[in-house]
Amino acid sequence: MVASCNVEFDWAKEIKEFDETKAGVKGLVDAGVKEIPRLFVHPQEVLERHPTAKDVAVELPVIDLSGAERGGARRREVVEAISKAAREWGFFSIVKHGIPLETMDAMLECIKIFHELPKEEKIPLYTTERNKPVKWNSNLPAQQNDPACWRDVLNIVYTDDHLEAEEIPSACRKELEEYVKYMIQVRELMAELISEALGLPADYLSKMECMKSQSLSCLYYPACPEPHKTLGAPKHSDTTFLTLLIQDRLGGLQMLRHNQWLDVPPVRGALIANFGDLMQILSNDEFISVEHRVLSQSVGPRISVATFSTPSIRAAGKPFGPIKELLSQDKPAVYRDFMFEDYFQYYKTKGARVESAFDYYRINK
């Protein structure tokens, strides 16, 4: 499908040339490009695969976390709201989560500052190596003829909630450490609420350590001279358990609902939450993982920070599959058990051409 539109186009050569600049998409913008390189052009059938609902912004469920702590007056109400949103939407907005507005604003601003540093200051972090806890790149495609996306990304991984401070770029070190401190608190509360929404004890997911590590994608989407030809992020569902996103005022995030793309408008101070494929598998299809994408725009840069909850080192070495307490004769397992490393590798080898691993791990296909 993708290769058919690559006539007279040396994909490997253009990938190599772009990668060797170590300047990212920001470098193209700084160079004043008026036409995007062929590497970034997405097939028209991909761009138009689902219609966009015109002038319709999605009214996500809004979940107020105030009073949701253990023993809180609104705990049951919040659990029920999460249960409903998880089953019907897969996406929802979180407010009154305890993260100060100034902390969220400072996080977005420092990520912008980092990405706009001179190239020479960012080059030491430029790599595509998987095992680096902090790296900066443009998320170039690994599969032959897959198109690149119009964005740069700073990836930061807190394995088991730990990362040495000196690993973090100084331009955003203070702000990121402060932000992550609050995100851990939100994640721990969400793990309890999600456990109860599944009908499990409050500490169930915490004991599993399936959300113990955090991976942050600090994204920079420059203004694009030809936004109708490319995407900031292609259609995908997240591979992890839970994603918590902050974004600036520009928007561009869309979710797929009832076979239509719906705009997810930014709300200052709110977290956008969505479940990943692993949560759908663990819940045995009780909670849904929803496909989404990010549009390219003629304005920018757009800044967002997505925090993905991933397993601890210890948990990653154990099998994953539908939670046994959720299974019964009437509700048998939909998916087989698997190792997290195998699951991760499945996505890694498929590149941008796989939509999810559901069918691969489904017992009755």
Given a cut of 80, whether residue 349 has pLDDT beyond it is no
Dist CA 64 CA 97 (whole Å): 7
How many residues are there in the chain?
365
Mean pLDDT throughout 300-313? 95
157 contacts 215 by C-beta, under 8 angstroms: yes
Predicted confidence at residue 355, as pLDDT, reads 63
**How many C-beta atoms surround the C-beta of residue 298 within 10 A?**
10
Given a cut of 50, whether residue 6 has pLDDT beyond it is no
362 contacts 335 by C-beta, under 8 angstroms: yes
Dist CA 240 CA 279 (whole Å): 7
Q: In 3D, which of 269, 325, 230 has the Cα closest to residue 99?
A: 269
Q: Residue 34 phi/psi, 5° resolution?
A: -105, -25
Given a cut of 70, whether residue 354 has pLDDT beyond it is no
Q: In 3D, which of 168, 149, 27 has the Cα closest to residue 111?
A: 168
Mean pLDDT throughout 70-97? 97
Mean pLDDT throughout 89-97? 96
Dist CA 169 CA 339 (whole Å): 33
Confidence of residue 364 (pLDDT cuts 50, 70, 90): confident
In Å, what is the CA distance from 38 to each residue of 21, 29, 148, 151, 242?
16, 15, 9, 15, 34
Look at 132-146, 151-165, 296-310, 348-362 and tell me which has the smallest mean pLDDT: 348-362
Dist CA 161 CA 179 (whole Å): 13
More confidently predicted of 329 and 9: 329
Question: Maximum distance among all alpha carbons in the chain?
Answer: 65
167-173: Cβ within 8 A, 24+ apart? 167/133, 167/134, 168/134, 169/114, 169/122, 169/125, 169/134, 171/110, 171/113, 171/114, 171/117, 172/107, 172/110, 172/111, 172/113, 172/114, 172/218
In Å, what is the CA distance from 257 to each residue of 231, 254, 264?
19, 9, 11
Mean pLDDT of the chain: 91
| Residue 121 neighbours by CB under 8 Å, 6+ apart | none
Predicted confidence at residue 343, as pLDDT, reads 85
CATH class of 3-361: mainly beta
Domain boundaries, the chain: 3-361
Confidence of residue 4 (pLDDT cuts 50, 70, 90): very low
Predicted confidence at residue 56, as pLDDT, reads 64
pLDDT tens digits along 197-245: 999 999 999 999 999 999 999 999 999 999 999 999 999 999 889 999 9
| Residue 202 neighbours by CB under 8 Å, 6+ apart | 70, 192, 195, 196
Confidence of residue 351 (pLDDT cuts 50, 70, 90): low
